[in-house]
Each structure stands twice: as structure tokens, then as C-alpha cells.
Amino acid sequence: MTATRLAEETKGSRLTERFRLIGGWVEKPDDLQPELVGDVSADVIVVGAGFAGLSTALELTALGAKVIVLEQEFAGFGASGRNAGYLAGSMGVEFEFFLKRVGHEQAKGIVKFYDEGVTYVERRLRELAIECDYNPSGLIRAAVHPSQEKRLRHSMELGAELGSVTRFLDSAELRARGIPPAFLFGCLQHGGTLDPGKYVMGLRRVALKTGVKLYEQTALLSYSEGPTITCKTARGTASAPFMVLATNAYTPQLGLLRDKVAPLRVSAIETEPLSKAQLASLGWAGREGVVTPHWTMESHRLTARDTLLVTTKQLGYAYGSQTPNQPDAAAYGALVQALDDRFPTLRGIAIRACWSGYISLAYDALPVVGATGPQQNILYTAGCSGHGVGTQSLVGYLLAERIGGIEHPLLAALRHKTPSTLPEPLQWCAIKGALMGANGMDRFVNRRVRGAASG
Ligand SMILES: Cc1cc2nc3c(=O)[nH]c(=O)nc-3n(C[C@H](O)[C@H](O)[C@H](O)COP(=O)(O)OP(=O)(O)OC[C@H]3O[C@@H](n4cnc5c(N)ncnc54)[C@H](O)[C@@H]3O)c2cc1C
């Protein structure tokens, strides 16, 4: 183990004292909804109360449907209550992963889907009067080393061909915006940052107000297929002609999409609030969310509570597509290292919290949205990886329309053959290998950045 690695791990294990089992944004709600007891029925059962589930439930209710939501813990317990809060469009989507598979025309539709996610959420925040500190500053994908320019420009060019609107920002423009000096140049896209905890709890509040029947602490254990779907929970059943599985990274554990998506663990650290002097030392007046073009990106943003949030950088995979809710010391150590590297004036700042959550990823990195069962009345949504704030919200609208009998063009654009995942232990080996390769390349770039800073 190298000295750097040892230092990272030591930092990480010290940090686990700050570990939060439910992420840094939400608390268990005071009005926790009771577990389902007995037998109930509705027009649609939605399983999972994150952005996708709550958005679907709200859109269906607006169409006049009677909706039941089953949530194993409480709304916002999954990735929706733990993410970095970037409302991001197509910027940073790995276009080359899927362009050849789906062709130019469909790829354009997919890019539009990502970008529409931003517009959709902005509209819903206004319509539903959800206050979640949304800052429509635009998002910047910014390089930390000159060697990242080629990858950044290539991604911008490919994106532009597919309709992704971004603008190159040179170093003068980044400095004029007050973006911290570690970020050299980048590309800007429409979007912004929000408090995902306030967003998901806002959706929950509106859902309860508009008559969605939410059962929390109610895990779906199994379900039967057919014209009527019956969901079994520990102390009851729920039946409906339609079911929507909005369980994302947890879906393989229900026996569905096991061969389509793999859950990946994403981690975050959040500092204590910065003092006025520390904020002033950064500049960064517009508080634009920044991500890097590393193979595994770093994301850095200020929050409305004046803390600095650093996420991603090191992903994890648990054998057999499990989703253990436990600390990832190595990932937190790597995030502290990124914090020190990018913000040297803040070196030594205390960490308020660290946490991890799960996203799901298909091998072609595309959303996995579709229908299954003999009646095609079991709908599901997963994938969307690091873009779920926008896309999984929008999917709610698309799935509600689909249940109402309309296939929106953006939903049609997602239809494609998702590559099959590998069986274990091959999947574990393949994902670990890919993540190690990405980390290795990123470490090489980071060493060059440190070398340039010290030399
Ligand atoms: C650390 C981190 C940072 C991220 N940053 C960003 C970002 O900045 N921008 C962005 O766009 N995306 C980001 N993402 C991804 C984004 O959070 C997800 O794509 C999105 O929240 C997925 O929403 P969802 O509703 O599909 O799934 P989830 O929010 O995971 O919801 C699934 C729900 O299903 C419930 N459930 C599971 N199994 C069962 C069962 N058997 N019975 C009942 N309920 C069940 C879970 O408890 C959970 O509440 C990040 C993710 C993480 C973890």
C-alpha cells in the first residue's frame, strides 16, 4: 500500500465517526406514515418513494388515478435523499458509450430526454411551490489539468452533434466568475444545484396533500403477475391493475433487472459551514456546481448552508448486487484528498458528515425504463446513473402518461436493448477491474496536478 493510499484510508476511517446512515440532507419525518396492515387496492401501486416514485404518484393522481405508494423506510431514504443535488442535463453523459449501439437519431432523443429533465424539474418546483434552495447558476464541467482538455472537447463536440447545448469557458472566464483556481477551463450547461432533501420531502408533502396513500416502513416482499397485481408486504397486501417499480438500485433484489443493471455505491462528504473569511477566500460568487472530467468525476459545490459538498470520485460495488447501508472509509478518504487538492485554502476544515448511497448502472450507461409481465402492466425505471434528479423526476411524468395509454416520444426514445450483465463472480471482477482502471487513470492526472502545484 503506497503512503498516499495509507494516508487516504486513515483519513477515511477517522471520518466514519461522521457517517450518517440516511445521508446528510434528510431526517426521518415526524409524520412517518404507518405501515400497511391488511388488504388494500388502488388503480396503481408505486413501489419506492424517491424522485421517480413520488413523481409518478403525483402525475397519476393529477390524472385522477387512485395511487398507493409502498416505501420500505421513508420517502427520500434512497439516493433521492442522499445525492449531490445537481440538476444536470446531458452534460457529462458518456455519449460514446451508446452512440454506436442506438444510432444518431435515437441518441438525439436520449440527449433530449436528459435535457428535458432539467426543464421538467424547474417547472415542477414552481407548480408545486417546493422551496429547495434551487440555484439556476448553470453547471460547469471543469478540468483540473491541461491533459483533460481533449476529453472535454471531444465530449462537447459529440454532444453538440446530438443537440446537447454547452459553451466552452476558458480560464479568463472561469476567473471572471470567481471559480476557484484549481479549475482551469471547462464547459457550461443550463441547470443548477438544489437541496435534494428539501426537494424529495417537498414531493412527499404534496403527495400526501393531494391524496396519495403512502405506506412507509412497508417493504414489498413479493408480487404476483396477471391482470391484477398483488403485492405482498409483511402485514398486508396491495392490489392494482398496474404496478410501477421505482426501486432503482434496489430492483435486482426483487428479482427484476438483475441481468440489466448493477448497483454502484456513490459517496459524499460535507464540510462544516465555511466562515465568512473562508467563503471570501474562495470567491465563487455564483456558486456554480462544478464537476470534473475525470473517468470517475469529482463534484464540488457550495450549499445554501455554506458548507462544501464533495461527491463521487470513488465508486463501489458489493458482490451479488447487494446494497449494504454502511460507511465506505476508502471513498471518504479519497474525497477528503480531493477537497484538499482543489481547495488548499480550506485544508484541515472539519467534516460535518459523510454518507453513501446507491445508483444503478446499465453496461451501456443508458436509462432502463420499460414494462414487463404477461399484461405489460409492471413498469420499471432504473439507470439514469448520476442524472436522476432531473431524469427520474421526468420519468414519473412519462410513466403516468404510459399508464394513461400514451407513449410520449421521450419514452419511445429510451426503448433499446439493454446489454445483459455478467453472472457473478464475473460481474464483480469486471466492475472492480473497470473501477480500478478508472481510479488508476484519475490518480495519474491528480499526481500531475500535485506535481505542477509543488514544482
Ligand atoms: C452520493 C450520490 C450523489 C448523487 N448525485 C447526483 C446529482 O448531483 N445529480 C443527479 O442527477 N443524480 C445524482 N445522484 C443519483 C440520483 O440521486 C438518483 O439517480 C436518483 O435519486 C434516483 O431516484 P429514484 O427515485 O429512481 O431512486 P431512489 O431515490 O433510490 O428511490 C428508491 C426507493 O425505493 C425504496 N425501496 C427499495 N426497495 C424497496 C422495496 N422492496 N419495497 C419498498 N420500497 C423499496 C428505497 O427505500 C428508496 O426510497 C447521486 C446519487 C448518490 C448516491
Q: Please give the mean pLDDT across all residues of the chain.
A: 95
Q: Distance (Å, rounded) from C-alpha 4 to C-alpha 427?
A: 29
Ligand 1 centre from 359 Cα, in Å? 6
The predicted-structure confidence for 127-185, as pLDDT tens digits, reads as follows 999 999 999 999 999 999 999 999 999 999 999 999 999 999 999 999 999 999 999 99
The answer on pLDDT for 270 being more than 60 is yes
Three state DSSP letters for the chain:
CCHHHHHHHHHHHHHHHHECCCCCCCCCCCCCCCCCCEEEECCEEEECCCHHHHHHHHHHHHCCCCEEEECCCCCCCCHHHCCCCEEECCCCCCHHHHHHHHHHHHHHHHHHHHHHHHHHHHHHHHHCCCCCCCECCCEEEECCCHHHHHHHHHHHHHHHHCCCCCEEECHHHHHHHCCCCCCCCEEEECEEECCHHHHHHHHHHHHHHCCCEEECCCCCCEEECCCCEEEEECCEEEEECEEEECCHHHHHHHCCCCCCEEEEEEEEEEECCCCHHHHHHHCCCCCCEEECCCCCCEEEEECCCCCEEEEECCCECEHHHECCCCCCHHHHHHHHHHHHHHCHHHCCCCEEEEEEEEEEEECCCCCEEEEECCCCCEEEEECCHHHHHHHHHHHHHHHHHHHCCCCCHHHHHCCCCCCCCCCCCHHHHHHHHHHHHHHHHHHHHHHHHHHHHHC
Question: Is 396 near ligand 1, meaning CB less than 6 Å away?
Answer: no
Question: Is 266 near ligand 1, meaning CB less than 6 Å away?
Answer: yes
Confidence of residue 257 (pLDDT cuts 50, 70, 90): very high
| CATH code, domain with 396 | 3.50.50.60
The predicted-structure confidence for 62-121, as pLDDT tens digits, reads as follows 999 999 999 999 999 999 999 999 999 999 898 988 888 899 999 999 999 999 999 999
Instruction: State the burial class of residue 38 (Cβ atoms within 10 Å of its Cβ: 0-12, 13-18, 19+).
Output: exposed
The predicted structure's pLDDT at residue 15: 79
Ligand 1 centre from 189 Cα, in Å? 23
The predicted structure's pLDDT at residue 11: 67
| Protein residue closest via CA to atom 48 of ligand 1 | 78
Range of 328's domain? 3-454
**Ligand 1 atom closest to the CA of 193, numbered from 1:** 8
Domain count for the chain: 1
Ligand 1 centre from 251 Cα, in Å? 11
Question: Is 220 near ligand 1, meaning CB less than 6 Å away?
Answer: yes
| Protein residue closest via CA to atom 20 of ligand 1 | 388
| Protein residue closest via CA to atom 37 of ligand 1 | 247
The predicted-structure confidence for 19-45, as pLDDT tens digits, reads as follows 999 999 999 999 999 999 999 999 999
Q: Distance (Å, rounded) from C-alpha 446 to C-alpha 449?
A: 5
**Ligand 1 atom closest to the CA of 23, numbered from 1:** 1
The predicted-structure confidence for 349-404, as pLDDT tens digits, reads as follows 999 999 999 999 999 999 999 999 999 999 999 997 789 999 999 999 999 999 99
Ligand 1 centre from 440 Cα, in Å? 27
Question: Is 110 near ligand 1, meaning CB less than 6 Å away?
Answer: no
Question: Is 85 near ligand 1, meaning CB less than 6 Å away?
Answer: yes
Question: Is 77 near ligand 1, meaning CB less than 6 Å away?
Answer: yes
Ligand 1 centre from 454 Cα, in Å? 40
36, 56, 59, 72: residue to mutate for ligand 1 pocket, most atoms within 8 A of CB? 72
Confidence of residue 9 (pLDDT cuts 50, 70, 90): low
Ligand 1 centre from 439 Cα, in Å? 24
